Amino acid sequence: MALKDLIADRSKLTEAAIEGIVRDYVRYDPGSYEVVLTPAGLVLSNDAKILALLVAIAGWPYVVDEVRPVDTKPAALERITGIAGGTLRPTLKKLKDAHLVMSTSDGYAVRVANLDAIGRVIAGERAIARPAPRKLKRAAANEDGSKTDVADSSPESRVGKGRRKTGVPIRRSLARLVDNGFFAEERTLGQVVARLHEMAIIAKTTSLSGPIAEMVRGGKLARKKVTDGGKDVWSYRSA
């Protein structure tokens, strides 16, 4: 096989190929310039029904001498297929994500390059869309050496309902406390959290463990065990 045999061109969407895919599912009405689903076409799955209709529409050049634009926007497809708009639009998106259909100025059309795959879906194979990318998690180091998976806390990842949360990086806030002399005295994590809250920076003890341990390893802070409320905890002081 030569590479040129892999080229997808509309000229390769032949009459025989189209007929082989849709002959049981559609009929052409040249007088009204409509494609009508047969009883067999009406019982296809939503994926297959939409694809069969769009493949048939692509076959108009082999049926009539004068080809006209066909409205394949969602409203028109809803009327022809009988698929409700709330179901039709997500189905179109799935087929588009699977590279089986594409958007055009008239609405939607099949992708000629994937005609074989389209035929298999109409025959009963499931259309598979690419999964959405999953958010990666990072491991935060705790003081006891264990790690806790936490969601990415970058500003780009913190999106609330209807608005973007900017937040304040914990490491930058801790560096400010060092520079301002807060750690000139011994400070426990509880005291650090309380000071950050006074600065309108919402933080938890668990979110401080990793960053403050990095500052100890980097030589900016020193730590030692102290007794606080009957418990042995780490306290931190500028190195």
Asked if pLDDT for residue 6 goes beyond 70, the answer is: no
CA distance linking residue 170 with residue 209, whole number of Å: 10
Whether residue 168 is found in the same domain as residue 77 = no
- Assess contact for 221 and 174: CB atoms under 8 A: no
Q: Which two tokens stand for residue 161?
A: 């309902």
List residues bridging with 26 in a β-sheet.
37
Same domain, 153 and 82: no
| Mean pLDDT, range 4-9, rounded to an integer | 56
pLDDT of the residue at 209:
82
Q: How many domains does the chain have?
A: 2
- How high is the pLDDT of residue 166? 41
Which pLDDT belongs to residue 136? Answer: 59
pLDDT, tens digit (0-9, with 9 covering 90-100), for 138-157: 555 555 555 545 544 444 44
| Per-chain mean pLDDT for the chain | 81
Q: Could you tell me the CATH number of the domain that includes residue 53?
A: 1.10.10
pLDDT single digits (tens) 29-84: 999 999 999 999 899 999 999 999 999 998 888 898 898 999 999 999 999 899 99
220 — phi, psi (to 5°)?
Answer: -80, -30
User: What's the pLDDT at 35?
Assistant: 93
User: Does some domain include residue 179?
Assistant: yes
Asked which of 122, 156, 185 is the last residue of a domain, the reply is 122
Higher pLDDT, 168 or 95: 95
